[in-house]
A and B are shown apart, each in its own frame.
Chain A
Amino acid sequence: MAKSMARYFDGVRETRVWRSIFRSGTGSSTLHRALAIQQNVFLHLFSTKVRRRMLTFNATWYLGTLTFGTFLILVATGVLLMLYYHPSVPQAYADTKDLQFVVSSGLFLRNLHRWSAHAMVFLVFAHMFKVFYRGAYRAPREFNWVIGVILLLVTLLLSYTGYLLPWDQLAYWAITVGSNIASAVPVFGDKVHFLLLGGNAVNANALLRFYVLHCMILPLTAIFLIAIHFWRIRKDGGLYSHQSEPATLRAQAAPAKVAQ
């Protein structure tokens, strides 16, 4: 049975349609396996070859991958929530209630969105701690660390802008307090506050601006930066492993040992 299934899929891979979509060809040679990665628009960001040790749980605890996983869940559930949510003052709160109590699976999707958001913030921090304490932020990976810090800010801004959308008392006062923190910026503070809210108080304009930021501008920024972040892993020599670094880099990374 298994053998005939395998033969069936081999047959599918030989069809003209399959060959027109996947150009790497069939076969399990090193070249074919490398091409399968290199000729795929999503996978070509990554290295065609990875050390087996770097794919074990110990190497990274999969924290970056898990963060990306929560991001994908957030995009999928968020797009579905958008189908029932109107970013307007009379409707926003009622729509949130409808999602909880009226829409089929609405409660599940909203909770999944909420818990994934919490998990993503936690995982981003865990990922950064892991990278920091392993010293994986050092040369030649400094720039990817900088992109990671910007991605942390984007993640926190996504949390902050999403917080207003239920339009309940907690949301209203949290954004009132949060946007007043922006007012504390010297010289430009009041202007930043005004531009952020599109007015002097948290109101219809603020709700719409936060909605656009939350559903369009910030996710697109995140996707753009995540693509660079992944691509830089390959460009910077693959996932960091202390033993695999060239001796000169290892010496730079551990100045205390050099001094002995």
Chain B
Amino acid sequence: MADEKHTNPESGGVTKGTDPDLDRREFFVKLGLGSLSIAAAGTVAFAYQFLSPNVLFEPSPVVNAGKPESYPLDSVTLDVNSGLYIIHSKEGFFSLSAICTHLGCMTAWKADLGIIACPCHGSKFKQDGEKIQGPAPRPLPWKRVWLSDDGDLMVDRSTDIRPMQFVRV
């Protein structure tokens, strides 16, 4: 391709040997295309950054669930605002995410059956989050629970923990 250009008498430059004019043209074409590529990559990066909000006005991931005494033994309490179950079992307190691991619907505690069920696509979970029936791919995750200095139950929705870690009061 390059050789063909060099021998083309219509190109207007010197035709024998290496043609300095055409080399310069090729150089500028490459420079131009290179600059455009960099600008295009910059535009993609700019667009991505612009579309990602830096500040979110979303509720804090840390939730104050109130006094442990307000949860009777063997109870499962759903807080619809935070999407969390606060469960007081014989082994102690723990918290499960109420958000179905399938497609993000809010599950519900079925007291008469003793299971957690999702209204959207019928997934079922045990009281400890273990999956009974799909389509949910994973069990409901356990969330980190601790007692604040004031003696309130605190839950961090952003932190999953391994199951069976109870908080005793």
Which residues of A line the B interface, CB within 8 A? 173, 176-177, 179-181, 194-195, 198-201, 203-205
Interface size class for chain B? 10 to 19
Query: Beyond A180-B102, A180-B104, A203-B57: 12 further Cβ-contacts under 8 Å?
Result: A173-B105, A173-B120, A176-B103, A176-B104, A176-B105, A177-B103, A177-B105, A177-B120, A180-B103, A195-B51, A198-B53, A199-B53
> Of all chain A residues, which has the CB nearest B48?
A195
Q: A201, B58: Cβ atoms under 8 Å? A: yes
> How far, in whole Å, are A194 and B57 apart by their CA atoms in the complex?
14
* A residues less than 8 Å from B56 (CB atoms): 199-200, 205
* B residues less than 8 Å from A204 (CB atoms): 57
> How far, in whole Å, are A179 and B105 apart by their CA atoms in the complex?
11
- Output the least CB separation between B152 and chain A (Å): 24
* A residues less than 8 Å from B51 (CB atoms): 195, 198
- Output the least CB separation between A221 and chain B (Å): 16
Q: Which 10 A-B pairs have the closest CB atoms?
A: A180-B104, A177-B103, A180-B103, A176-B104, A195-B51, A199-B56, A198-B53, A199-B58, A173-B105, A177-B120
> How far, in whole Å, are A204 and B52 apart by their CA atoms in the complex?
14
Say what secondary structure dominates the interface of chain B: loop
Q: A203, B58: Cβ atoms under 8 Å? A: yes
Say what secondary structure dominates the interface of chain A: helix
> How far, in whole Å, are A203 and B58 apart by their CA atoms in the complex?
8
* B residues less than 8 Å from A205 (CB atoms): 53, 56
Question: Given A177-B120, A199-B58, A203-B58, are A194 and B52 also a contact pair (CB < 8 Å)?
Answer: yes
* A residues less than 8 Å from B58 (CB atoms): 199-201, 203
* A residues less than 8 Å from B103 (CB atoms): 176-177, 180-181
- Output the least CB separation between B49 and chain A (Å): 11
> How far, in whole Å, are A179 and B48 apart by their CA atoms in the complex?
18
> How far, in whole Å, are A204 and B58 apart by their CA atoms in the complex?
9
> How far, in whole Å, are A195 and B53 apart by their CA atoms in the complex?
8
> How far, in whole Å, are A177 and B56 apart by their CA atoms in the complex?
21
B residues 80-133 near A (Cβ < 8 Å) are 102-105, 120
* A residues less than 8 Å from B57 (CB atoms): 203-204
* A residues less than 8 Å from B53 (CB atoms): 198-199, 205
> How far, in whole Å, are A201 and B59 apart by their CA atoms in the complex?
10
Q: Can you identify 13 A-B contacts, CB atoms within 8 angstroms?
A: A173-B105, A173-B120, A176-B105, A177-B103, A177-B105, A180-B102, A180-B103, A180-B104, A181-B103, A194-B52, A195-B52, A203-B57, A205-B53
> Of all chain B residues, which has the CB nearest A205?
B53
* B residues less than 8 Å from A194 (CB atoms): 52
> Of all chain A residues, which has the CB nearest B119?
A173
- Output the least CB separation between A89 and chain B (Å): 10
Counting chain A CB atoms within 10 Å of each CB, the highest count among B52, B53, B103 belongs to B103
- Output the least CB separation between B63 and chain A (Å): 14
- Output the least CB separation between A209 and chain B (Å): 9
